[in-house]
Amino acid sequence: MDGMPHGNRWGERNNGWELADEMIKEGKIFSEIHTASGMQEFKCMQDGDAWCCVGSGFVNLQESNNYAFGDTRKQAMDSFVASFGI
């Protein structure tokens, strides 16, 4: 034990998860999603009025094919997953 009460340790860990969730929602860090091709890293961010999900290794729209758009974050994620054959 590190001398920290159980509730404090849980609180610190929970705050870390909440921070990570927010960073994922803001498109600052990658998350993973299961696709027909296996696990794929992606991040999803707002682009004007639309949402865009991009995969790991994304360069730009002209050079990459691992992206998808949607009117909502969920639609963009669903389109991204569908692009892998689900």
**What confidence tier does 5 reach under pLDDT thresholds 50, 70, 90?**
low
**Domain map (residue ranges) of the chain:** 6-82
Q: How far apart are CA 42 and CA 52, in angstroms?
A: 10
Measure the CA–CA gap between 8 and 58, rounded to whole angstroms: 39
Q: Which residue, among 83, 86, 13, has the nearest Cα to 42 in the 3D structure?
A: 83
pLDDT at 70: 96
Q: Is 80 exposed, middle or buried (0-12, 13-18, 19+ CB in 10 A)?
A: buried
pTM of the model: 0.66
pLDDT at 13: 62
pLDDT in tens, 25-83: 777 777 777 777 788 888 988 889 999 999 889 999 999 999 999 999 899 989 988 88
